[in-house]
Amino acid sequence: MSRLLLLLDKPNAHHQTARAQQLHRLHRRAMRSLLTALMVVLVGNGIVGAATVVAQEPPPRVLFARDILPVLSANCFACHGYDEAARQADLRLDLEDLAKSEQGEGIPVVAGDPERSTLWQRIASDDSDLVMPPPDTHKALTDEEKETVRLWIEQGAPWQQHWAFAPVERPEGNLDDQVARRLAQAGLELHSPAAPQVLIRRLYLDLTGLPPSVEVADAFARDPSPEHYARIVDELLESPRFGEHWARMWLDLARYADTKGYEKDLGRTMWPYRDWVVTAFNQDMPLDQFTVEQLAGDLLPEPTIEQRVATAFHRNTMANDEGGTDDEEFRIAAVKDRIDTTVQVWMGLTLGCAKCHSHKYDPISQADYYRFYALFNQTADADRYDDGPLMDVVSAAQQARRAELTAEVTRRQAELDEQLAESLTLEQQGPWRLPRFDRLTAASEAKLEVDAQGAIQVSGDSPPEDVYTLELTLPPGTYRVIRLEALTHAVGNGVIGLGRNPQDPNFVVSEFTVERLGDEPESLALEEPRADFSQSGWPVSAAIDGDPKTGWAVSPRPNERHQALFNLASPLEVTAPTTLRVTIAQHYGNRLVLGRFRITTSGEDPSRLTPDSESESVAQARAALQETREQLNQLNASVPRLPVMQELPTARQRETRIHVRGNFLEPGEVVEPSVLPAFHALPEGAPLNRLGVAMWLVADENPLTPRVWANRIWARVMGRGIVETEEDFGALGSAPTNVDLLNWLAAEYREQGWSLKRFLKQIVLSRTYQQSSVPSPQALAIDPANELYSRGPRFRLSAEAVRDQALAVSGLLSLKVGGPSVMPPQPDGLWRSTYNGQSWIDAEGEDRYRRALYTFLKRTTPYPSFTIFDGGSGEVCMIRRIRTNTPLQSLVTLNDPVYLEASAALAGRMIDAANTPEDRAAWGLRTALVRPLRDGEAAPLVALYEAARARFVESPDDARALIATCRGTGSQEPPEELAAWIVVASTILNLDEFLSRR
């Protein structure tokens, strides 16, 4: 029997046209289904026979869900299925009652009677006008498929639900029983366990993405008891490294990135969400809660900060900031992406096609799609440049510090106010006198008011330029000097300064003029202007030079009080109250106008009056306040502002219409929100919004969520899913290779309270997981792709694990958790995006060697060494990574600075660890591979060391150059020695076994 399967699996050596290949595969698949079914019978009867025996057995039982539904889905449903618009001849084959009743020219399926069934007649027809599917569809049934259909009708045409939509029922037995039973059907059994150190390395890499130390592995080898193993499992599940590793799995699905995508691809602060995911995995948040918080955390009663952070999940959608784009177009694209992602991630179904027309294979109409869309169409985000709504993600420490600083600012402000009041009062008792103000006006709408200190405060309208006109009355006396004081005030945004623009609280007094008002206004000449401080190029003399383009300004000291004194060219002697008009013209623009100022006069001898700088105590109080304010500003600026979901208020909720042919510019009929009607109903009491959707996804009645998730987690650990098309559990997806195993896992995951840690523990404790990855010849022949899990899987590590492992064994890896994404070295000149000022600056120090999870991900230019190893760009939801094996990958691990620096660090460790070349090579190899070495295994490394060393002795410049490139300087070793070990270490980091998990 195994020979037979082998025969089937052997590829056709001939080069065929695509069409022929397709036919060949259809044939193979149909045959394989039948044969598998057959084998069950045979094995059950204890008969193991050759092909000739097979032919004599009664025809095998055809199973609708396995053998027929896929054929109908692929060949018939496009025109005779769910999509009303595309339906031909008013004939429907996707529903049992319709398929078995009179439709058009006859009854498609007459149970037990193929000849009377129009389905059979049409697929079997030789007439090109009658045969189905019509030749122009480029579809055709193979003879085997036709025969299977005929057999099925003959056997009574029993109908079955698509397997994935049937309720989850847990089969008898434990996990290993499910695998063993399926293996037995194929004539195989569970394999022997992996060697202890191999198993421990596998376990570490699967649970944490990092390798174990040799010591831990050896300790287990000394005591390989199940208890010891379970203890290690528990330790790993509790390690903070666990969440970092499993978060990456989720971030692919969540299309996480650090930029917004499209043309500008500007940065976006998403890392608080990434840290939330890590924490959720580390805390083993149950899947139902994980679902609800991310889809609708904001709709929970009194949501916590964390629950709102979780909703950033669906703000990972891209935004287009390109000039001239229609925000609504890209808002809609984002909403559709949320729906696609949600349904794919939880239900394993694709809704993509239902945007434009009803789904042809799965029971989802276009109207269903837009009803579902209506539930997601009510959030406030709208592809705006600011990416709003945003939330400040304040940590507890930041919150405490902020309160502290705010109190400090208040205290220091009060101190300063006190000092200022005192100084102003003191001055008034000196030579200066306040006039009485009669009228204060501004050319703009700004308001001018006198306060208790006689200062004039400007408020209200804030134009680019302004002219203040002050009419003041002088009591009888002699007046020789006029003083203008620019006073500090709260400009806005926490800035203290003189002007009115918080970005630049400077002022420019273009012209300062004084007139005596009488029957005829008389201009009073001013002279000897002097100020305590003037900006370079903007002297106080310019304020009275008659040129409105010049003036007096005070940068870089616009945050403290300044004074300007002007002598009256002829002293003013008044005997009766006299009115003056002071005009302060400020024409510079950019709102560089006085915000608070004072006018005083004096009759003293001008030569005795000088402009005072601010008193020492005021200056100190001001500096202290400024410093605290800056700290507060820095703190506030460091608080990440995260895009989150926020529901529109009821009154502003959007009406949803069908988009005809998927085009939002062609609105169709209005639809009411609803979950997908082909599946279970909204749980009782669930609201009709995103929260309801989340509850619906994790409801007990939903068979898809547990199957899809169990399959996904299994695939991450076992190398491939039981359903290989992890993204498609619909009619066109691939069939499970072991449906009992999948059902068992799905039931287990849900019944264990959706705990990932408990679920993973079940898996890694199983015999199935612990099997050796070295296949028996029999397993290799019967189960070459390990679809039945006849051995432990061996596969190349993920992009992230490849990097993290190299850094770990070399001792460079930083275990710093969380925070903003970092920029480890990447080749120069990669970021050349259009109109984007951001740049990549290679990190130094710890951030150079963080876990791959923390690497900045720019959507249009993802970190190259990760994409070369099949990592995603975060543009759209990535359900699984297709593993490839390419020369570009070899170039990364050979030449990327990360691996070169790891080589130098590992070389250093090897030199430190032992004294002879043999011991050093063995130590390095063992550290990387963890398992005990075979006899002579390190010998090629020693030979390489000797060859490399000889070469470097000849060319010491090369040795030094290599050491410098690999950042190996600082070692006391002779250069040829260190360089040779770098070559050896790099060799170790490039070994297939090192790059693989086995």
Q: Nearer Cβ to another protein, position 587 or 712?
A: 712
What is the rounded distance in angstroms from the CA atom of residue 24 to the CA atom of residue 204? 42
Min. distance of Cβ 893 from another protein in angstroms?
9
Cis peptide before 932 (omega within 30 of 0): no
Min. distance of Cβ 80 from another protein in angstroms?
16
Q: Nearer Cβ to another protein, position 435 or 733?
A: 733
Q: Nearer Cβ to another protein, position 377 or 865?
A: 865
Residue 3 binding another protein, by CB under 8 A: no
- Tokens 């036919």, residue located: 23
Q: Which structure tokens are listed for 548?
A: 């409105």
Q: Which structure tokens are listed for 711?
A: 């399959």
Q: Nearer Cβ to another protein, position 199 or 868?
A: 868
Site for another protein in 809-868 (CB under 8 A): 827-829, 832-834, 837, 859-862, 864-865, 867-868
**Mask 187-226, x = binds another protein (CB under 8 A)?**
----------------------------------------
Alpha helices in 126-283 (DSSP H): 143-154, 175-185, 196-208, 214-222, 226-238, 240-253, 271-282
Are 722 and 741 a contacting pair, CB within 8 Å?
yes
Beta-bridge partners for 822 = 855
Q: Pick the piece of the chain touching another protein (CB under 8 A) from 93-101, 639-647, 805-813, 936-944.
A: 936-944
Angle between helices 704-718 and 756-765 (to 10 degrees): 50
Q: Which structure tokens are listed for 653?
A: 């909720």
Q: Pick the piece of the chain touching another protein (CB under 8 A) from 354-362, 424-432, 618-626, 759-767.
A: 354-362
Cis peptide before 556 (omega within 30 of 0): yes
Among 361, 432, 709, 849, binds another protein (CB under 8 A): 361
Q: Which structure tokens are listed for 438?
A: 């009669």
CA–centroid distance for 304 within its chain: 21
Q: Nearer Cβ to another protein, position 74 or 914?
A: 74
The residues near 185 (Cβ < 8 Å, ≥ 6 apart) are 36, 39, 40, 43
Min. distance of Cβ 824 from another protein in angstroms?
14
First to last CA, the chain: 29
Q: Measuring CA to CA, which residue among 507, 416, 432, 515 is closest to residue 472?
A: 515
Q: Nearer Cβ to another protein, position 257 or 526?
A: 257
Q: Pick the piece of the chain touching another protein (CB under 8 A) from 178-186, 549-557, 680-688, 727-735.
A: 727-735
Residue 732 binding another protein, by CB under 8 A: yes
Number of chain residues interacting with another protein (CB under 8 A): 123
Buried b (16+ CB within 10 A) or exposed e, 856-875: bbbbbbbbebbebbbbbbbb
Residue 725 binding another protein, by CB under 8 A: yes
Residue 987 binding another protein, by CB under 8 A: yes
Residue 997 binding another protein, by CB under 8 A: no
Q: Nearer Cβ to another protein, position 324 or 537?
A: 324
Angle between helices 196-208 and 226-238 (to 10 degrees): 20
Among 353, 467, 623, 678, binds another protein (CB under 8 A): 353
| Helix, coil or strand: residue 685 | coil
Residue 993 carries which side chain, given as an amino acid letter? E
Among 243, 529, 595, 730, binds another protein (CB under 8 A): 730
Q: Pick the piece of the chain touching another protein (CB under 8 A) from 71-79, 437-445, 520-528, 703-711.
A: 71-79
Among 94, 176, 427, 728, binds another protein (CB under 8 A): 728
Q: Pick the piece of the chain touching another protein (CB under 8 A) from 7-15, 58-66, 439-447, 702-710.
A: 7-15
Residue 937 binding another protein, by CB under 8 A: yes
Min. distance of Cβ 725 from another protein in angstroms?
7
Among 887, 915, 916, 970, binds another protein (CB under 8 A): 887
Min. distance of Cβ 741 from another protein in angstroms?
19
Are 744 and 170 a contacting pair, CB within 8 Å?
yes
Residue 267 carries which side chain, given as an amino acid letter? G
Min. distance of Cβ 192 from another protein in angstroms?
14
Q: Nearer Cβ to another protein, position 105 or 328?
A: 328
Residue 961 binding another protein, by CB under 8 A: yes
Q: Pick the piece of the chain touching another protein (CB under 8 A) from 98-106, 288-296, 427-435, 955-963.
A: 955-963
Are 736 and 723 a contacting pair, CB within 8 Å?
yes
Among 635, 678, 747, 781, binds another protein (CB under 8 A): 781
Q: Measuring CA to CA, which residue among 320, 314, 309, 322 is closest to residue 377?
A: 314
Q: Which structure tokens are listed for 723?
A: 């359903």
Among 35, 60, 70, 802, binds another protein (CB under 8 A): 70
Residue 738, CB half-sphere, CA atoms under 13 Å: how many?
A: 31
Cis peptide before 389 (omega within 30 of 0): yes
- Tokens 């080069």, residue located: 15
Residue 308 binding another protein, by CB under 8 A: no
| 167 phi and psi angles, rounded to 5 deg | -60, 150
The DSSP line for 299-348 is GSSS--HHHHHHGGGGG-S-----TT--HHHHHHHHHHHHHHHHIIIII-
Residue 87 binding another protein, by CB under 8 A: no
Q: Nearer Cβ to another protein, position 74 or 443?
A: 74
Q: Nearer Cβ to another protein, position 354 or 585?
A: 354
Q: Nearer Cβ to another protein, position 610 or 886?
A: 886
Q: Measuring CA to CA, which residue among 286, 360, 72, 409 is closest to residue 752?
A: 286
What is the rounded distance in angstroms from the CA atom of residue 847 to the CA atom of residue 822? 6
Q: Pick the piece of the chain touching another protein (CB under 8 A) from 164-172, 574-582, 737-745, 775-783.
A: 775-783
Q: Nearer Cβ to another protein, position 83 or 748?
A: 83
**Mask 247-276, x = binds another protein (CB under 8 A)?**
--------------xxx-x-----------
Dihedral angle over CA of 268, 274, 275, 281, nearest 10: 170
What is the rounded distance in angstroms from the CA atom of residue 76 to the CA atom of residue 84? 14
Min. distance of Cβ 957 from another protein in angstroms?
8
Site for another protein in 527-586 (CB under 8 A): none
Residue 384 binding another protein, by CB under 8 A: no
The residues near 998 (Cβ < 8 Å, ≥ 6 apart) are 194, 198, 202, 773, 792, 794
Residue 944 binding another protein, by CB under 8 A: yes
Q: Nearer Cβ to another protein, position 712 or 859?
A: 859
Are 561 and 544 a contacting pair, CB within 8 Å?
no
Site for another protein in 861-880 (CB under 8 A): 861-862, 864-865, 867-868, 870, 873, 875-876, 879
Q: Nearer Cβ to another protein, position 767 or 951?
A: 951
Q: Measuring CA to CA, which residue among 696, 682, 694 is closest to residue 299?
A: 694
Residue 935 binding another protein, by CB under 8 A: no
Among 318, 347, 723, 911, binds another protein (CB under 8 A): 318
Residue 959 binding another protein, by CB under 8 A: yes
| 659 phi and psi angles, rounded to 5 deg | -95, 110
Q: Nearer Cβ to another protein, position 314 or 489?
A: 314
Q: Nearer Cβ to another protein, position 67 or 560?
A: 67
Residue 452 carries which side chain, given as an amino acid letter? A
Beta-bridge partners for 566 = 482
Buried b (16+ CB within 10 A) or exposed e, 337-367: bbbbbbbbbbbbbbbebbbebbbbbbbbbbb
**Mask 12-31, x = binds another protein (CB under 8 A)?**
---x-xxx-xx--xx-xx--
| 390 phi and psi angles, rounded to 5 deg | -115, 155
Min. distance of Cβ 989 from another protein in angstroms?
10
Min. distance of Cβ 891 from another protein in angstroms?
4
